[in-house]
Structure 1
Amino acid sequence: MAAKSPELRILAAVRAIPRGQVAGYGEVAERAGLPGRARLAARVLSQNSDPKLPWYRVLRSDGRIAFPEGSAGFREQSQRLRAEGVMVVNGRVKRAKPERNLDEAIWGPGQD
């Protein structure tokens, strides 16, 4: 079986984001097995033509919508996220920071 291209892996990772949830470009790249390739994920999404792809579930790492505020893309992404129950305030989705490792997932952030 031939390996999937990076582009197909990114699109599959976007399709796997559950309804009502979001992910950052870097998270999408990592889930696709391409750590550190957030810009590639953004480029692949910008060139996508599949109307069924849930592209709007992908945000910047700080939870902001990447489109310029007030643009048609910004409004569409905000509306689609809200329709799925995601709270968007001032173009940002507040998210919990993902745990860095298993210890943080179980015990919480370290006490450096």
Structure 2
Amino acid sequence: MVPFTERTVKIIYEIPAGRVMTYGQVASAAGNPRGARQVARILHSMSAKHGLPWHRIINAQGGISTPSGREEKGGLQRELLETEGVVFMDNGRVDLSVYRWFPEEEFI
């Protein structure tokens, strides 16, 4: 695994239940502020293999990013987050000022 991928996986593992991070936030914390798409690819390719809590990664607006034709995955993500106590606002977004998690300096 390349260092960025290793740091990304470690950060995602550390997100506590009931908290979220954005794709860009994970990328920045892992050392590549422009690597949000890389984070999405890592989640897509490694979540099942490494048991990553993929559902805790959302977009910068606090919403669930669901690929076209995969709405059921967005519903599952919302359900998993709600099970952990995350509350969605009427607009379907998460209040990042309440639920966003910031990793400790040791991860950055």
- The question of a shared fold, defined as TM-score above 0.5 by the shorter chain, is answered with yes
* Structure 1: 4+ residue segments shifted above 6 A: none
Structure 1 match to 2:106: none
Q: Contact 2:43–2:52 at 8 Å: present in 1 too?
A: no
Q: CA RMSD in A?
A: 2.5
Structure 1, gaps ≥5 residues long: 99-112
Q: Percent identity?
A: 34
More helix by share: 2
8 Å CA contact 1:81–1:88 kept in 2: the answer is no
The Cα of 1:81 is off from its aligned counterpart by: 0.1
Shift of 1:50: 2.9
Deviations 1:3-47 (A, max 9, x none): 952222111111111111001001111111222211111111111
Matched residues in 2 for 1:94 and 1:30: separation?
20
Q: Partner amino acid for 1:59? A: I
Amino acid at match of 2:56: R
How many residues were matched structurally? 96
The residue aligned with 2:51 is 52
Paired position in structure 2 for 1:107: none
8 Å contact from structure 1 (residues 78, 91) kept in 2: no
| Cα displacement (A) at 1:86 | 0.2
* Matched residue type, 1:82: E
Specify every segment of 5 or more residues in structure 2 that has no aligned partner in the other structure, as ranges.
101-108
Return the index of the structure with the highest Cα Rg: 1
My pick for the range that moved more, 48-57 or 77-86, is 48-57
Task: Give 1:95's aligned residue.
Answer: 96
